[in-house]
Amino acid sequence: MLWQPQIIFHSTMVLGIALLFFILIPGIGAFHIRSTWRKFRELLYLSTRLKKIDYSTMRSLRSGDSPSGRSYRFFGRLQALEKENIVWLSDWRLSIQADLNRVHVFLLTSDQTFSIEDWEQYPSVAPRRMLWKRVSTLPEHTKVFISGTVDSSQGRPMFVDSSEQRLLVLIYEGAEEDLLYRATWNGRQKNEYWNPLTPGSLALGSFSLFLYSYLLPESSVYFYPCLLYTSPSPRDRTRSRMPSSA
């Protein structure tokens, strides 16, 4: 059996591996997921308070009557791509550019429907979040909602990402009228424990426990106390007898 200090040591090691890979790392991922969706909902709420860009606003921005750096929102469709990260959006009345370099976009499909009766329930699937450069080819006229800072210092109004006002970009399907309600409701995750860090952490933790249990018997920490008893052989008894005197 193992001595008491060694039992405590190895039990602590097993418990530490389990806590690290089965609780701590997935917990960090869950905290990050919750923080991400909280910021997403905050941006959605702020976007509802922003002014929509219309034709008169565009004219003011181009002429310099409206100062550069203000925040707006815009419902449009994908019109064209310029270079790798510059996109043109149009609502059939006006067109505006957006610089999506290093910007995360959210994909909201038509399957992610919303009704007021579902508000207290968690959605089955959250919107997909990815960098713009990782988005595959999008068809022309894809619906896009964007809100954030508009820079018109170069004479061409353009949505840009800034530290003061992060760009919010939603690529969506369905009606425009209830988009913000649908996005707010879907901007939650039902099972935050299961996040991008969880599969690798569980696999590595299971492998670590298996490896530790495999190497433990081969270590020199096992001691087996026993009582050794040897009985004398008949020959030993014969030799131990003293000869009788005459």
Token look-up 């702020």 returns 46
pLDDT at 36: 87
The residue behind tokens 């050794």 is 228
Per-residue pLDDT of 4-56, as tens digits, reads: 677 788 888 999 999 999 999 999 999 998 888 888 888 888 888 899 998 88
Residue 230 has pLDDT above 90, yes or no: no
Count of beta carbons in the 10 Å neighbourhood of residue 118: 11
Enter the tokens of residue 119. 């508000």
- pLDDT for 223 beyond 80: no
Taking the chain, what is the end-to-end CA distance rounded to the nearest angstrom?
58
The two tokens of residue 190 are 């039902």
Contact 10/222 with Cβ under 8 angstroms? Answer: no
142 vs 92: CA distance, rounded Å: 13
Residue 123 has pLDDT above 80, yes or no: no
* pLDDT tens figures, 164-202: 888 999 998 888 887 877 887 777 777 788 888 999 999
Contact 178, 11 (CB under 8 A): no
pLDDT category, 121, cuts 50, 70, 90?
low
More confident residue, 83 or 124: 83
Instruction: For domain 53-186, give the CATH number.
Output: 2.40.50.200
Mean pLDDT of the region 90-104: 92
Phi and psi at 26, nearest 5°, equal -60, -35
DSSP code, position 23: I
Contact between 158 and 103 under an 8 Å Cβ cutoff? The reply is no
Q: Does the pTM exceed 0.75? A: no
Q: 232: helix, coil or strand?
A: coil
40: left (phi over 0), alpha (psi -120 to 50) or beta: alpha
Residues belonging to the chain: 246
Q: Using an 8 Å Cβ cutoff, are 149 and 88 in contact?
A: no
Determine the Cα–Cα distance for residues 132 and 136; give it in Å rounded to an integer: 9
Q: Which of 25-39, 55-69, 125-139 has the highest mean pLDDT?
A: 25-39
